[in-house]
Amino acid sequence: MMKTMKHTGKRFILSSFFFIVFLCILASINELRFDSLLEFSKCALSYAPSNSSFGNNLVVKPSSDEIRVLIGILTLPDQYHRRHFLRLIYGTQSPAGVKVDVKFVFCNLTKEDQKVLVALEIMRYDDIMILNCKENMNKGKTYTYFSSLPEMFSTSDGPYPPYHYVLKGDDDAYVRLESLVESLRPLPREDLYYGYVIPCPSMDPFVHYMSGMGYLVSWDIVEWIRDSDIPKNRLEGPEDKIFGDWIREGHRGKNRYNAKWSMYNYPDPPTRCTHELRPDTVSVHLLKTQEKWIKTLQYFNVTQNLKPSKLYHIP
């Protein structure tokens, strides 16, 4: 009797061990990185039995280099074609090993047809956020966006923070997700304010504010926007400048990153805010015409991975 129990115990420990090895291999395969071996050993160690309750609450921890980014593109309910187009643009980018969610953000629907068409879009794509507000550009939509996020994404079982970074984007900007993520990797995950510094010739991220073409903050700043009275009391005015005022008044953004000139306005017509297209681009802004979009997409070779098929021929 004693002997059997001892054997069963040994067998249990052995099989638990192999189960953990199996979990770690799974986790490492997901990583597909050079450091996967390192991850593997870290992973195995983190499962090492520390006491007798070993085996309970076995949860695969996300590796520490996972980055979660939310890109909220502020747009209007009626912009169906724009959303369709942007879904093509973002749906064909898939940066490896990170979570980048692109959502379209607008205020309350106001028309009967929107209630049908937007609901259908949500059923098909599930990439829309409807805020509790009336459409406006410079009267608090940005505030409603950021301050609604903690509640919208709070879960008891998901990771915390739900996103390390949140970006407010424009629907006339092209964001290259892989470059964005690479630029974020070395940066702090707290108290970060990232973007294209205004005024255009300035390279000092501590002087003014980040342009509305697309700015990004870490999750703690999102929570601060929800909690603080500073943003609540200053809603009206150019949204990007007002945002910069909150940050300054609240003494936030001790970490800042000037993404100039990997973010810029489209080069035509040239101004002090524009730049020629360049390979290390994070974002191109003011793509106001189809022609500008096409030239930009061509420059970045976005269709070069089109798979060959007998079903079509594109010269």
Ligand X SMILES: *[C@@H]1O[C@H](CO)[C@@H](O)[C@H](O)[C@H]1NC(C)=O
Binding site for ligand X (CB under 6 A): 50-51, 53, 108, 132-134, 279, 299-301
CB-wise, 76 or 187, nearer to ligand X? 76
What's the min distance (Å) between Cβ of 56 and ligand X? 7
What's the min distance (Å) between Cβ of 64 and ligand X? 20
Q: How many residues does the chain have?
A: 315
Identify the three-state secondary structure at position 30: helix
How far apart, in whole angstroms, are the C-alpha atoms of residue 168 and residue 217? 9
How far apart, in whole angstroms, are the C-alpha atoms of residue 103 and residue 74? 9
CA atoms within 13 A of residue 175's CA, in its CB half-sphere: 31
CB-wise, 156 or 305, nearer to ligand X? 305
CB-wise, 130 or 187, nearer to ligand X? 130
**Rg, the chain, Cα only:** 23
What's the min distance (Å) between Cβ of 116 and ligand X? 16
Q: How much helix, strand and coil, in percent to the nearest 5, is found in the chain?
A: 40, 20, 45
**Phi, psi (rounded to 5 degrees) for 254:** -70, -20
Under DSSP, the state recorded for 4 is: H
What's the min distance (Å) between Cβ of 213 and ligand X? 20
CB-wise, 173 or 221, nearer to ligand X? 173
How far apart, in whole angstroms, are the C-alpha atoms of residue 82 and residue 290? 11
CB-wise, 152 or 207, nearer to ligand X? 152
**Phi, psi (rounded to 5 degrees) for 88:** -65, -45
Q: What is the dihedral of CA 184, 99, 87, 143, to 10 degrees?
A: -70
CB-wise, 25 or 133, nearer to ligand X? 133
CB 233 within 8 A of CB 296: no
User: Which of 15, 110, 80 minimizes the C-alpha distance to 54?
Assistant: 15
CB-wise, 4 or 51, nearer to ligand X? 51
Angle, CA 259 vertex, CA 257 and CA 260 arms, to 5°:
130
- CA distance readout (Å), 234 to 49, 131, 237, 239, 244: 53, 19, 8, 10, 11
CB-wise, 64 or 301, nearer to ligand X? 301
What's the min distance (Å) between Cβ of 77 and ligand X? 12
What's the min distance (Å) between Cβ of 109 and ligand X? 8
CB 266 within 8 A of CB 292: yes
What's the min distance (Å) between Cβ of 206 and ligand X? 31
What's the min distance (Å) between Cβ of 1 and ligand X? 28
